[in-house]
Amino acid sequence: MEEIIFERDEKGDILPTIQNFYKFCGQGRLMAVKCTKCNKLLAPPRMLCPSCYSSDLRWIQLSGRGQLRTYSMINIAPKRFASQVPYTVGIVKLQEGISLPGRIMLDKPGDAQIGMDVIVDFEPAQMDGWPQLPRYFFRSVNKTSG
């Protein structure tokens, strides 16, 4: 596997950037940043806290578990996704209280439900274009194993 190189600041800390967020996905980790001054949790990460304007933000790993807030099954897609229809997208409220959008992989297409438990998973970069990065997605939690 290709080595993942993060962008870092002069102290060597991994910068709270979107590209680094996706590089963590390449390591199988869903990450957020936490503002050291006001404790705000942010995913996507930001380099400047929108609440207190501090730029001291530290990475923390998220549980990757949450519940589906809303969803839709797409039949007409942009060109680069057209071969994948139908596929489901949704917004997931994570246990930590913040929400992320993403693809929802279901056992049976069409069996999504608001409130259902989902867990994050990862896949390697697949699309053309800039930048080439891995992706996260969510799948339904199997009741017996979950």
Using the minimum distance from each CB to another protein, give the nearer residue, 4 or 42: 42
Strand 65-74, strand 99-105: pairing = unpaired
User: Binding to another protein (CB under 8 A): which residues in 93-122?
Assistant: 99-103, 114
- Residue type (1 letter), 73: M
Is residue 74 at the binding interface for another protein, with CB under 8 A as the rule? Answer: yes
Q: Given the rule CB under 8 A, which of 2-10, 29-37, 52-60, 79-87 is the region that contacts another protein? A: 79-87
User: What x-and-dash track marks residues 8-47 binding another protein by CB under 8 A?
Assistant: ----------x---x---------------------x---
Chain-centre distance for alpha carbon 20 = 12
Chain-centre distance for alpha carbon 14 = 17
Q: Given the rule CB under 5 A, which of 16-24, 29-37, 116-124, 135-143 is the region that contacts Zn ion? A: 29-37
Is residue 91 at the binding interface for another protein, with CB under 8 A as the rule? Answer: yes
Indicate which single residue of 11, 79, 108, 143 sits in contact with another protein (rule: CB under 8 A): 79
Buried b (16+ CB within 10 A) or exposed e, 45-58: bbeebeeeeeeebe
Among another protein, Zn ion, none, partner that 52 touches (CB below 5 to 8 angstroms by kind): Zn ion
> Three-class SS of residue 67?
strand
Tokens standing for 29? 């980790």
Q: Given the rule CB under 8 A, which of 6-14, 28-36, 59-67, 77-85 is the region that contacts another protein? A: 77-85
Residue with tokens 């967020």: 21
> Three-class SS of residue 59?
strand
